[in-house]
Structure 1
């Protein structure tokens, strides 16, 4: 189905020089905020969860929240698994109706990475699901330690050839999990990899990348950008304001509602940065 087809939208973004935003939805209010921003912006977005997100709310809860969001939204909401850690969780997500999955074995040996990705690609093809994988390391997901090994052009070419993935995540100086927008991005490396592999590239840690650099990266071949910290930041700042005082508010719906509104604006802002407004035609 084209409406939620990840390869369709990411491929189109790549050809037209814009990017699909992937936003992690760790709970109900974040899910609502992402869907509301997509609807308002008339933009296709990837509504994503992580291993930590699944642990927090449960896969069945996430799928149920996403189903309601999709029902209420006129914009395409593409269900995506971010940084899937093993084959079984990818299988569960695909069988639960996800449109896209990332299998991340980037910290393993090259051969182990390729073998696992091939298994996922074989399964995903039978279900019409898009597959993302990564070569090179940028490990800071959900509070982890930053360990960087930049992707090389040669290994990117070989990895794409060996796996048959739909879009490739690369390490280029990006810093996932960070709110500060000062990541030392290697734009020439993106251009070189894009020219060599001729397929959509994925940027993780998009919150840490300044707007001007985002535009350069999209022009260079990035067609999917992951955002997590900006959404979390909207909730964190609201909670700090309400609960960092001597007489905090009792009704938790108030800060959650305010945080949701801030998250809508954060998502909508990134959608504008990515050139994805009014693309859901």
Structure 2
């Protein structure tokens, strides 16, 4: 199947009142698990490759092309998404590799430069048929830059979308990146207020720290794209540890990575259905 654009997938979700799961790909096993979950549930999925993952692999193309090939093998819509890209050169490379969406993160720049740079990226990506997500308010707890307690102002968010032309907006409403416990408290009233003012779908970053009931409530309040990475990494690692503890003499990597892949597929399928309101 041809990869889907993020704006189209999110537009369908908004019209149907459901959320869309966006999960990070680090190894090939992640891509296989996430696509299997999408196929099992019949729901779209956003396959996210972050700039951090690119640094881990040393380049974008190998993991991107492998993920693209896995996504092309199924009938459900899959978005190939470059996540938290700060480099315009990396965005350009992603376009050339066939990505259908990028999250351009210029939030570390001053506000005027963020808007101006993001507008330039949006114009270029739209000319290539690629959707763009961006970030205005800082999301707590990442690299010491995103300050805890920061919240997005609805009026400022609306102006940012007008100034930049982005297709989706990540907002700060109480979650934090890389949380290993699901104890975040979302400001549901703020989500609803931003949703009322902002004409594009909203994105929740740091969703690994949010409990199931609050994820459902966030979607009902107006959130559409929900990013979950750390939680699935914990599932992957727990399954690997459990398998190796039970089979201490195993050396075939396919056995324990296969167990992790199955565990991630099961949890991703559960999350996709949860966000879809099933």
Aligned length: 275
Partners of 1:190 and 1:220 within 8 A in 2: yes
Q: Deviations over 1:110-138 (max 9, x none)?
A: 10110110111011111111100011111
1:16 aligns with: 16
TM-score by length of 1: 0.92
Partners of 1:242 and 1:249 within 8 A in 2: no
Q: Secondary structure at the match of 1:202?
A: strand
Q: Deviations over 1:52-79 (max 9, x none)?
A: 1112233111222123212321111110
Counterpart-to-counterpart distance in 2, 1:70 and 1:93: 16
Q: Secondary structure at the match of 2:80?
A: strand
Counterpart-to-counterpart distance in 1, 2:101 and 2:72: 19
Counterpart-to-counterpart distance in 2, 1:225 and 1:191: 15
Aligned 1:175-194 pairs, distance under 5 A: 175-194=176-195
Q: Secondary structure at the match of 1:33?
A: helix
Shift of 1:197: 1.3
Going from structure 1 to structure 2, the CA distance change for 1:249 and 1:147 (only over 3 Å counts) comes to: farther
Q: Deviations over 1:154-175 (max 9, x none)?
A: 2111111111101110011112
TM-score by length of 2: 0.93
1:262 aligns with: 263
Q: Which runs of 4+ in 1 moved over 3 A?
A: 242-248
Counterpart-to-counterpart distance in 1, 2:131 and 2:213: 29
> Where does structure 2 lack aligned partners over 5 or more consecutive residues?
none
1:94 aligns with: 95
Moved more, 178-187 or 114-123: 178-187
2:104 aligns with: 103
Shift of 1:199: 2.1
Partners of 1:201 and 1:224 within 8 A in 2: yes
Partners of 1:182 and 1:210 within 8 A in 2: yes
Counterpart-to-counterpart distance in 2, 1:35 and 1:246: 28
- Please tell me the root mean square deviation across aligned C-alpha atoms, in Å: 2.0
Aligned 1:57-68 pairs, distance under 5 A: 57=57, 58-68=59-69
Moved more, 146-155 or 182-191: 146-155
Q: Deviations over 1:193-236 (max 9, x none)?
A: 11011321000112211121112211121110111012211221
